[in-house]
Amino acid sequence: MELNSKIYVAGHKGLVGSAILRALQEQGYSQLVYRTSSELDLRDKAAVDEFFAQEEIDYVFLAAAKVGGIVANHEYPADFIRDNLQIQTNVIDAAYRYGARKLLFLGSTCIYPKLSPQPIKEEYLLTGELEKTNEPYAIAKIAGITMCQSYNRQYGTRFISAMPTNMYGPNDNFDLHTSHVLPALLRKFHEAKEQGLPSVEVWGTGSPRREFLHSDDLADACLFLMNHYEGDEIVNIGVGEDISIRELAELVSRIVGYQGQIEFNTSYPDGTPRKLVDVSRIHALGWAARISLEEGITSVYDAYQKEALVQN
């Protein structure tokens, strides 16, 4: 990408999109295009077509998606598959038809089989059954990958796909009903400390292991891939290390400064037992994550406290 290229960040308000936008701004890219969902509904094909026709976009970071944790995926499965299929179909097709030079499609490591060998290599895609709780979302993302590959093959486009592991960072979703595990834990422990509660409930047994990538590291990887990677093969983005939910809860408790007990409610599902991605492909390309988990959580908690002060 040239510094004066016209670059569209779809989903610039979200955790991932906002990090990509910050990274582009910090690196001096001057023609950045973005729209809120109220200004441009990406589920509306006619609106997306009109936007691409007017803006003449060079590069697209497709970070817009309907996302959520176990509870949201369980309660809104139709929304997850419909909205994500509509968003990615409209943007990918418009990027081709209106001459975008390159597109990066962001998927998720939940596309891999529930019981994948660990760490998860890119070639394990479609080798087993998906985790049922997020199957509609995963199938939509798999369709997006296949769409990018198919457009490359039929139309000669340069559409690439990256699969980030579990994300956290500034602009995360802290709603306990729809958030992912890390921001949910941060909010639970913070509120328990503020209210002097004797214990904090954590869903599940605490035994599943998860990998966590800071959104600023992901953004750095996305810019790296846009500038340096060409190919149909998907690329995992992660840190190459994981942690149990129990260990994560203890780490968050320590960072927040909570002194009470941690209680695990085993009536809630654990989800996938382990999800660690193999990052050898992106390491071979020349990129690696830099932000440690403790450093990253501490910075996110600092930002969360400041936001809470502003709201109060």
210 marked among binding-site residues: yes
16 marked among binding-site residues: yes
Unique residue bearing structure tokens 């904090």 = 200
178 marked among binding-site residues: no
298 marked among binding-site residues: no
Instruction: Tell me the C-alpha to C-alpha distance, in Å, between residue 57 and each of 7, 160, 222.
Output: 6, 16, 17
Inter-residue contact 222 to 253 (CB < 8 Å): no
14 marked among binding-site residues: yes
17 marked among binding-site residues: yes
The enclosing H or E element of 285 equals helix 280-285
> What's the CA gap between 118 and 3, in Å, rounded?
39
180 marked among binding-site residues: yes
Q: Of the listed 8, 29, 59, 137, which one is catalytic? A: 137
Chain-centre distance of CA 88, in angstroms? 15
Q: Is 301 a catalytic residue?
A: no
List the one residue out of 87, 91, 99, 93 whose CA is nearest residue 5.
99
108 marked among binding-site residues: yes
66 marked among binding-site residues: no
Inter-residue contact 160 to 102 (CB < 8 Å): yes
Q: Which residues are catalytic?
A: 137
Going by the annotation, the residues of the binding site are: 11-17, 106-109, 141, 180, 188, 203, 210, 270
Going by the annotation, the residues of the binding site for substrate are: 188, 203, 210, 270
Going by the annotation, the residues of the binding site for NADP(+) are: 11-17, 106-109, 141, 180
